[in-house]
Chains A and B, each alone.
Chain A
Amino acid sequence: MDFDKLIVLKDRMNKYSDFWGVAKIEVRKIYPDEGNVLCDKESYPDCGIIEILDKKVNTAPATSNFVSLCRKEVSEKMIYNKCELARLIVSSESKK
């Protein structure tokens, strides 16, 4: 997953909220552990949770899987791809 694009998508989510067909989408960085710091343009990339979508409704138990969360990083000598370990967590709306 492209971390840079996720941050852009998060800011424009109101345009795409009906696109996904689920109630909640979140990406949580696992390693390195950045705690519960929410990701936005200010905290990026040293943050732990990217809230992509939250319709604020009752949700069914979430389904999740490991993903590689990658971004462009600049060091003294070069620009390189830095990939970290994260979990994509998706919940659908609970009808109960």
Chain B
Amino acid sequence: MNKKAQEELVGFIVIIVIVSVALLILLGFLLRSSDKGAVESYEIENFIQSTLQYTSDCEDYTEFLSIQELIPACEEKRTCLSGEDSCKVLNNTLKDLIETGWDINKQSAIKGYHFRVMVGGQEKLSLQKGNETRNYKGDFQDFSKKGTNYEVSFKIYYD
């Protein structure tokens, strides 16, 4: 093979390498932008609202309590008519709602969550699972009952 042919071959290989690198960078951008669509802010907002309206199995003398009613009941250390601790029902129901509503695992785009309940500015309940990645979307909802302010916040972490 003469010297000119060798130069042409090297040039061809260089072009192939440059095009491959450019394609990899483009693919990376495309994958990253598709991941951003894994969770939408409006989903978090609606999830919090629907969760607060969920009717739990905790019954008092007048009704079955929604999560929004169960949070103050837990704060007041009340027990359900069945004798169960309202905080235990609250914890278990929230965990079930979150983990059934969101596909959180290593294979999924969603890597973790953090659900918090603040009462009068102090954290009273914290449920967490998975990893807290750099990308997340979250929202909060506040309400008050008997002069006490409650804030429910939820964050979903994804790749």
Contact = CB atoms under 8 A, between A and B. Distances in A.
Nearest to A88: B46
A81 B46 contact: no
Given A33-B100, A78-B62, 19 more contacts: A31-B96, A31-B100, A31-B101, A64-B43, A65-B43, A65-B46, A66-B43, A66-B46, A66-B49, A67-B46, A68-B54, A70-B53, A80-B55, A83-B54, A83-B55, A83-B66, A85-B51, A85-B101, A86-B50
Interface residues of B, number: 18
Interface of B is mostly: helix
Contact of A85 (B42, B62, B64, B97): B97
Give the one of B55, B63, B66 with max A CB within 10 A.
B55
Contacts of B66: 83
A31 B97 CA distance: 6
Given A82-B64, A83-B66, A85-B50, A66 B55 contact: no
Interface residues of A, number: 18
Contact of B101 (A30, A81, A83): A30
Interface string A57-96: 0000000111110100001001011111110000000000
A85 B97 CA distance: 8
A68 B43 CA distance: 13
A85 B54 contact: yes
Contacts of B140: none
A87 to B, nearest CB: 8
Interface string B24-42: 0000000000000000001
